[in-house]
Amino acid sequence: MPLFYQHNINEVTKLGIWRIEEPPSFFLEKVPLKNDVTHPFKRLQHLAGRYLLPLLFPDFPLGEILIADTRKPFLSSEKYHFSISHSGSFAAAIVSATGRVGVDIESITPRIRALAHKFVGESEQQALPGDPQAVPGDPPAFPGEEMLTLIWCAKESIFKWYSLGEVDFRRHMQFRGPILRHADGIRMPFLFEKGITIALDVEARVFSELSLALAWVIT
Ligand SMILES: CC(C)(COP(=O)(O)OP(=O)(O)OC[C@H]1O[C@@H](n2cnc3c(N)ncnc32)[C@H](O)[C@@H]1OP(=O)(O)O)[C@@H](O)C(=O)NCCC(=O)NCCS
Protein backbone atom coordinates (compact mmCIF):
# COMPACT_ATOMS: atom_id res chain seq x y z
CA MET A 1 0.00 0.00 0.00
CA PRO A 2 1.78 3.16 -1.13
CA LEU A 3 0.41 5.50 1.56
CA PHE A 4 2.28 3.70 4.26
CA TYR A 5 1.41 5.97 7.20
CA GLN A 6 -0.94 8.90 7.74
CA HIS A 7 -1.32 10.91 10.90
CA ASN A 8 -3.95 13.64 11.08
CA ILE A 9 -2.30 15.64 13.81
CA ASN A 10 -5.21 18.06 14.11
CA GLU A 11 -7.83 19.58 11.80
CA VAL A 12 -5.29 21.75 10.00
CA THR A 13 -2.11 19.66 10.15
CA LYS A 14 -1.48 16.27 8.53
CA LEU A 15 1.53 14.07 7.98
CA GLY A 16 2.04 11.19 5.57
CA ILE A 17 4.67 8.68 4.48
CA TRP A 18 4.62 7.20 0.99
CA ARG A 19 6.36 3.94 0.17
CA ILE A 20 7.73 4.44 -3.32
CA GLU A 21 6.84 1.48 -5.56
CA GLU A 22 5.74 3.33 -8.70
CA PRO A 23 7.60 4.57 -11.79
CA PRO A 24 8.09 8.34 -12.29
CA SER A 25 5.20 8.43 -14.79
CA PHE A 26 2.76 7.64 -11.95
CA PHE A 27 3.73 10.77 -10.03
CA LEU A 28 4.16 12.95 -13.14
CA GLU A 29 0.44 12.60 -13.84
CA LYS A 30 -0.18 14.82 -10.79
CA VAL A 31 3.10 16.57 -10.06
CA PRO A 32 4.46 19.37 -12.25
CA LEU A 33 8.23 18.81 -12.38
CA LYS A 34 9.92 22.22 -12.19
CA ASN A 35 12.97 21.08 -10.35
CA ASP A 36 16.00 20.01 -12.39
CA VAL A 37 16.73 16.88 -10.34
CA THR A 38 18.71 14.77 -12.78
CA HIS A 39 19.62 11.68 -10.72
CA PRO A 40 16.77 9.24 -11.51
CA PHE A 41 16.21 7.95 -7.97
CA LYS A 42 16.46 11.39 -6.36
CA ARG A 43 13.97 12.57 -8.98
CA LEU A 44 11.59 9.77 -7.99
CA GLN A 45 11.95 10.68 -4.31
CA HIS A 46 11.37 14.33 -5.15
CA LEU A 47 8.22 13.48 -7.10
CA ALA A 48 6.85 11.24 -4.33
CA GLY A 49 7.37 13.99 -1.73
CA ARG A 50 5.45 16.50 -3.83
CA TYR A 51 2.74 13.90 -4.59
CA LEU A 52 1.97 13.61 -0.89
CA LEU A 53 1.08 17.29 -0.48
CA PRO A 54 -2.31 17.29 -2.29
CA LEU A 55 -2.94 13.80 -0.98
CA LEU A 56 -2.98 15.30 2.51
CA PHE A 57 -4.86 18.46 1.52
CA PRO A 58 -6.58 18.17 -1.89
CA ASP A 59 -6.57 21.96 -2.44
CA PHE A 60 -2.78 22.17 -2.01
CA PRO A 61 -1.58 24.35 -4.93
CA LEU A 62 1.37 22.23 -6.14
CA GLY A 63 2.00 24.47 -9.14
CA GLU A 64 2.63 27.48 -6.86
CA ILE A 65 5.63 26.02 -5.00
CA LEU A 66 8.67 28.29 -5.08
CA ILE A 67 12.21 27.50 -3.95
CA ALA A 68 14.02 29.90 -1.59
CA ASP A 69 17.75 30.66 -1.83
CA THR A 70 18.21 28.22 1.07
CA ARG A 71 16.57 25.51 -1.15
CA LYS A 72 13.50 25.43 1.09
CA PRO A 73 10.31 24.96 -0.94
CA PHE A 74 7.45 27.25 0.07
CA LEU A 75 4.16 28.84 -1.02
CA SER A 76 4.32 32.63 -1.24
CA SER A 77 0.59 32.77 -0.41
CA GLU A 78 1.32 30.84 2.83
CA LYS A 79 -1.94 28.97 2.23
CA TYR A 80 -0.06 26.03 3.64
CA HIS A 81 3.25 25.54 5.42
CA PHE A 82 4.91 22.26 4.50
CA SER A 83 8.06 20.23 4.76
CA ILE A 84 9.33 17.18 2.86
CA SER A 85 11.89 14.46 3.47
CA HIS A 86 12.99 11.24 1.76
CA SER A 87 15.01 8.22 2.73
CA GLY A 88 15.46 5.24 0.43
CA SER A 89 12.04 4.12 -0.76
CA PHE A 90 10.15 6.41 1.61
CA ALA A 91 9.00 10.00 1.23
CA ALA A 92 7.43 11.94 4.10
CA ALA A 93 5.56 15.23 4.10
CA ILE A 94 3.87 17.39 6.70
CA VAL A 95 1.39 20.11 5.76
CA SER A 96 -0.22 22.70 8.02
CA ALA A 97 -2.68 25.47 7.25
CA THR A 98 -1.54 27.48 10.26
CA GLY A 99 1.82 26.59 11.77
CA ARG A 100 5.44 26.38 10.66
CA VAL A 101 6.56 22.76 10.28
CA GLY A 102 9.60 20.57 9.68
CA VAL A 103 9.90 16.83 9.03
CA ASP A 104 12.71 14.35 8.58
CA ILE A 105 12.79 10.63 7.84
CA GLU A 106 15.95 8.51 8.05
CA SER A 107 17.05 4.89 7.92
CA ILE A 108 18.48 3.66 11.20
CA THR A 109 21.97 2.34 10.44
CA PRO A 110 25.23 1.93 12.37
CA ARG A 111 26.80 4.73 10.26
CA ILE A 112 25.15 7.32 12.50
CA ARG A 113 27.57 6.44 15.30
CA ALA A 114 30.52 7.85 13.37
CA LEU A 115 28.71 11.17 12.90
CA ALA A 116 27.39 11.55 16.44
CA HIS A 117 30.15 13.91 17.61
CA LYS A 118 29.16 16.35 14.85
CA PHE A 119 25.60 16.86 16.04
CA VAL A 120 25.39 15.84 19.71
CA GLY A 121 26.86 18.39 22.14
CA GLU A 122 28.44 17.43 25.46
CA SER A 123 25.60 18.77 27.63
CA GLU A 124 23.11 16.83 25.51
CA GLN A 125 24.98 13.59 26.07
CA GLN A 126 24.23 13.89 29.78
CA ALA A 127 20.49 14.18 29.06
CA LEU A 128 20.38 11.18 26.72
CA PRO A 129 20.15 7.49 27.56
CA GLY A 130 23.45 5.63 27.11
CA ASP A 131 24.25 3.07 24.42
CA PRO A 132 22.57 -0.27 25.22
CA GLN A 133 25.46 -2.00 23.40
CA ALA A 134 28.17 -0.17 25.38
CA VAL A 135 30.83 -2.38 26.95
CA PRO A 136 31.09 -1.85 30.74
CA GLY A 137 34.28 0.03 31.55
CA ASP A 138 34.43 1.85 28.19
CA PRO A 139 34.28 5.66 28.27
CA PRO A 140 30.74 7.10 28.43
CA ALA A 141 29.26 6.40 25.02
CA PHE A 142 26.86 8.19 22.79
CA PRO A 143 23.33 6.75 22.79
CA GLY A 144 22.58 3.72 20.61
CA GLU A 145 21.98 4.06 16.88
CA GLU A 146 18.19 4.24 17.19
CA MET A 147 18.34 7.13 19.68
CA LEU A 148 21.12 8.86 17.70
CA THR A 149 19.04 8.63 14.53
CA LEU A 150 16.05 10.10 16.38
CA ILE A 151 18.20 13.01 17.59
CA TRP A 152 19.54 13.53 14.07
CA CYS A 153 16.02 13.40 12.59
CA ALA A 154 14.77 15.82 15.24
CA LYS A 155 17.55 18.30 14.48
CA GLU A 156 17.04 18.04 10.72
CA SER A 157 13.31 18.68 11.25
CA ILE A 158 14.15 21.74 13.37
CA PHE A 159 16.60 22.90 10.66
CA LYS A 160 13.79 22.72 8.10
CA TRP A 161 11.29 24.34 10.47
CA TYR A 162 13.70 27.25 11.07
CA SER A 163 14.25 27.59 7.32
CA LEU A 164 16.95 30.28 7.32
CA GLY A 165 19.95 27.90 7.25
CA GLU A 166 23.33 28.40 8.96
CA VAL A 167 22.38 26.41 12.03
CA ASP A 168 25.02 24.76 14.21
CA PHE A 169 23.51 21.41 15.17
CA ARG A 170 25.45 21.22 18.46
CA ARG A 171 25.18 24.84 19.57
CA HIS A 172 21.82 26.11 18.35
CA MET A 173 19.69 23.02 19.02
CA GLN A 174 19.92 21.31 22.36
CA PHE A 175 18.11 18.20 23.44
CA ARG A 176 16.80 19.02 26.95
CA GLY A 177 15.24 15.75 28.03
CA PRO A 178 13.55 13.81 29.33
CA ILE A 179 12.23 11.70 26.47
CA LEU A 180 8.52 11.10 26.91
CA ARG A 181 7.25 7.81 25.53
CA HIS A 182 3.50 7.90 24.92
CA ALA A 183 0.99 5.54 23.35
CA ASP A 184 1.73 6.66 19.77
CA GLY A 185 5.44 7.35 19.90
CA ILE A 186 8.03 9.60 21.45
CA ARG A 187 8.18 13.29 22.42
CA MET A 188 11.60 14.93 22.62
CA PRO A 189 12.01 18.37 24.17
CA PHE A 190 14.56 20.68 22.50
CA LEU A 191 15.69 24.23 22.96
CA PHE A 192 16.39 26.20 19.80
CA GLU A 193 18.54 29.27 20.27
CA LYS A 194 19.49 31.35 17.28
CA GLY A 195 18.17 34.88 17.13
CA ILE A 196 15.15 33.56 19.00
CA THR A 197 15.00 31.21 21.98
CA ILE A 198 12.17 28.73 21.76
CA ALA A 199 11.32 25.43 23.42
CA LEU A 200 10.25 22.86 20.82
CA ASP A 201 8.60 19.51 21.42
CA VAL A 202 9.69 17.25 18.58
CA GLU A 203 7.42 14.26 17.94
CA ALA A 204 9.04 11.06 16.71
CA ARG A 205 8.17 7.55 15.60
CA VAL A 206 10.27 4.45 15.02
CA PHE A 207 9.13 1.87 12.47
CA SER A 208 11.30 -0.92 13.85
CA GLU A 209 10.51 -3.54 11.21
CA LEU A 210 11.80 -1.13 8.54
CA SER A 211 14.61 0.43 10.61
CA LEU A 212 13.09 3.80 9.90
CA ALA A 213 12.90 6.91 12.11
CA LEU A 214 10.64 9.90 11.63
CA ALA A 215 10.55 13.23 13.46
CA TRP A 216 8.53 16.38 13.05
CA VAL A 217 8.04 19.76 14.67
CA ILE A 218 5.15 22.20 14.51
CA THR A 219 4.72 25.66 16.03
C1 LIG B 1 18.54 20.65 3.53
C2 LIG B 1 18.67 19.38 4.31
C3 LIG B 1 17.99 19.56 5.66
C4 LIG B 1 18.03 18.23 3.55
O5 LIG B 1 18.11 17.05 4.31
P6 LIG B 1 18.44 15.63 3.62
O7 LIG B 1 18.47 14.61 4.72
O8 LIG B 1 19.64 15.76 2.77
O9 LIG B 1 17.26 15.36 2.68
P10 LIG B 1 15.74 15.16 3.00
O11 LIG B 1 15.26 14.17 2.02
O12 LIG B 1 15.45 14.91 4.43
O13 LIG B 1 15.12 16.58 2.68
C14 LIG B 1 15.12 17.08 1.38
C15 LIG B 1 13.99 18.06 1.26
O16 LIG B 1 14.17 19.10 2.22
C17 LIG B 1 13.60 20.29 1.68
N18 LIG B 1 14.62 21.32 1.86
C19 LIG B 1 15.75 21.52 1.16
N20 LIG B 1 16.42 22.56 1.68
C21 LIG B 1 15.70 23.02 2.72
C22 LIG B 1 15.87 24.08 3.65
N23 LIG B 1 16.92 24.90 3.62
N24 LIG B 1 14.92 24.28 4.60
C25 LIG B 1 13.83 23.49 4.64
N26 LIG B 1 13.61 22.46 3.79
C27 LIG B 1 14.54 22.24 2.85
C28 LIG B 1 13.22 20.02 0.24
O29 LIG B 1 11.83 19.81 0.20
C30 LIG B 1 13.95 18.74 -0.07
O31 LIG B 1 13.28 17.89 -0.94
P32 LIG B 1 12.90 18.27 -2.44
O33 LIG B 1 14.07 19.04 -2.97
O34 LIG B 1 12.69 16.98 -3.12
O35 LIG B 1 11.66 19.07 -2.31
C36 LIG B 1 20.15 19.00 4.53
O37 LIG B 1 20.76 18.75 3.30
C38 LIG B 1 20.94 20.05 5.28
O39 LIG B 1 21.45 20.99 4.72
N40 LIG B 1 21.06 19.87 6.60
C41 LIG B 1 21.80 20.73 7.43
C42 LIG B 1 23.22 20.32 7.29
C43 LIG B 1 24.03 20.69 8.44
O44 LIG B 1 24.13 21.83 8.83
N45 LIG B 1 24.66 19.70 9.00
C46 LIG B 1 25.56 19.94 10.07
C47 LIG B 1 25.30 19.04 11.22
S48 LIG B 1 26.47 17.77 11.28
Indicate the helix (H) or strand (E) that contains 164.
none
Residue 138 pLDDT greater than 70, yes or no = no
Ligand 1 pocket mutation pick from 35, 71, 109 by most atoms within 8 angstroms of CB: 71
Same domain? 59 vs 151? no
125 pLDDT band (50/70/90 cuts)? confident
Q: Residue 67: give its domain's CATH number.
A: 3.90.470.20
Range of the domain at 26: 3-99
Last residue of a domain, one of 51, 83, 99: 99
Burial of 8 (0-12, 13-18, 19+ CB in 10 A): exposed
Task: Tell me the CA–centroid distance for residue 214 and ligand 1, in Å.
Answer: 14
Same domain? 109 vs 205? yes
Over residues 49-74, the pLDDT tens digits come to: 999 999 999 999 999 999 999 999 99
Same domain? 116 vs 38? no
Same domain? 165 vs 214? yes
